[in-house]
Each structure stands twice: as C-alpha cells, then as structure tokens.
Structure 1
C-alpha cells in the first residue's frame, strides 16, 4: 500500500505530510519540510530519509541546531587530530575551534539566495539555503518518491554521503578513546560507524 501525502503551508513553514485517516494535520507525520528565515527569501530543507535514525513523526521536520552547527574547541593537538580524522568537511577557526554541519536529515542548499545570506552565529554555515521556488520543487520530488513507496515509512532511507557525526557523538568517542588508552587496551576500530565517512576537511 502506497503512502498518501499532501503539502501544507503555514507562515514560514511548508511541510510534506503523511496522510493517515483520523489524524489531524498537527498530528500527522512529517516526511520533509521547508523552514523560512523570517524576513529573508532563504529556506532550509530537511528530508527524513537522509537521517540515519530519525523516522517520520509530527516533529521530524524540525531544525536541530546541533545538526546545522556543531563545534568543538580541542584541548590539545592530539584531540584536534582525533576530531579531524572523523570529519570530512569542517572550518577551523584561529583559536582551533572546529565547526561543521552534520547533514543529518539536511538537504544541502546554496551559500546564498539571490545574492543574500542570512547572518549566522560565528559567520558559519555549510548547510545552505533554497529559494521558495527551488525548495518547493525539491519537496515535490520528495513527494513523488513517497507517492510510489510501498514499504514501512520508518525504513525509507536514501544515501547521504555528506553525513558527519555530531559534536555530542564526537565528544563521546573521544572519551571512550582516552579511557581505552588509559587502560592500556589495544586500539579498537573506530566506534563511529563507517556510514559517517572519515576523511580530511574539504
């Protein structure tokens, strides 16, 4: 049985919803969504299929700050090398702070829309933006996928080669790495799944 969908609009938010009998709009699962930066023509676009563990829910169209902007200031050159070895694309500030986007559930857009980029914290952004017209076109492409999809919506995933671990994941991995080193344990395979990818900054 195929998934039935519809696109709904409210102020600064356009969502692709799963239509289920008896469910109100506010209770419907969000499959993808566009969010406007108020006062600009710049929209973010998220797609639940690009998120490794996220499944469709009424909240799956939300913007998660850590996914768009993770940051760590390494305490030592060794910590910096560890973090960098688990990231493929990041910015390194003059004080050594690393900043990156996880691209978890995020559709990458453009650095600017019609020559304009919204002001961002630390002047950092990798996720990019869409104009309303382009974002809607992408949303309709996503809708076309769902309109022919016959499996379990929770298992619908597509490849996300941009995905990177979040700040909290990397902090946890560094803790485990140091704990093993203190106990004299043999170096283990990286606990971060290969699906994140590992490589140097682009």
Structure 2
C-alpha cells in the first residue's frame, strides 16, 4: 500500500481495494482450492463525497438470508442484487435504496450501512447475518461509545426510520454521509452525523502519525 501511494501526489483521496479469488476448485465451482488463491491490490483516486447528502427510497428488493447466499463476506455474487436496488431507486429519482431483510426489517442500503437517531440516541440495524456489518459501522459504534454516546444495535423497521430525527450512512468509501430524504419524509443533515465524521477523521489521522 505504501509503495502504491507513492504514485500519487499526496493531496487527493485514494481508495484502497484488496481483492481475493480462487482460480481452481471443483469443476470451477465451490469448494475452491485454497492453494489457488490469488490477490490483487487496487489503489485509485476518487473523491470522498461525505458532504453530499443522499435521498433514499425503500427498495422492492431484499437482502438474502444466510441460508441462501454468502452474506458474511463482501462477495461479487451479492453485487448484482445491490446494483438492481440502486438502478430501481435512481429510476424513481432517488440516490440510493433502503434494503430490508427477508423478515421486512431494515438491513442497510444498497451500498452502505445505515444509522438512525432518535432522541439523541444513534441506532443501527442489529447484525443478523443477512448483510455485511462493515468495518466503518463497527468503528463508528466504538467511537460513539468511547465518547459517552450510547449507540445501539437493534432490530429496526421502516416505521422507526421514518419517525427518526436524523439518518446517516456509514461505509469505507465515503465514511459518513447524511440522508436528507426517505421516500416522502424530508430530513435535515443532523449533528450526530457531523459528530460521527469528526470522531472518525480524528481517529483516522491519529493512527497515521
């Protein structure tokens, strides 16, 4: 990573993407042969759009359960489902889609984890195995709790989100992004999203010293 970063000027935002795949297995299917695992590291310039709020709509498509998909990994096989969620949402004038699990509870969005805030308490859907509980989500939870904010993980419904005071997304690509609309409900970029971003960037810069 450090060698690759030398190819950039130092001022631009760079996304670091490690990738693994197996070249051999049982007739090209699983189980893959671990000895054939290959690795690639991709670094590319891309801006962080944390200051650009997003508009969400509830997707008609759902996240699969662990019984029917490899939900515990960031796998390419899950991307087509996310892609159709995003395309359907954008066709209706939104930026991203709120994805439910098979039971009808909120899981995440098509491309990031999600938090809601009610009465000063940030909450995010509990990790029930049907979506990838990302590293940025986990970091934000820890930073909140380390700073005296009682962030919760719990089962949440669309109704909970529509009645929230504030919504924001977390993900490794843009870190923290405020939500300004969920279907017919408008939101203002809130203080908890701003605090989450401040705590995250302070932590990130402190680890680079």
TM over 0.5: no
Give the structure with the higher percent strand: 2
Q: Tell me which interval the TM-score lies in, with the shorter structure as reference length.
A: under 0.3
Q: TM-score, normalised by structure 1?
A: 0.22
Structure scoring higher RCO (CA < 8 A, sep ≥ 6) equals 1
What's the TM-score once normalised by structure 2's chain length?
0.22
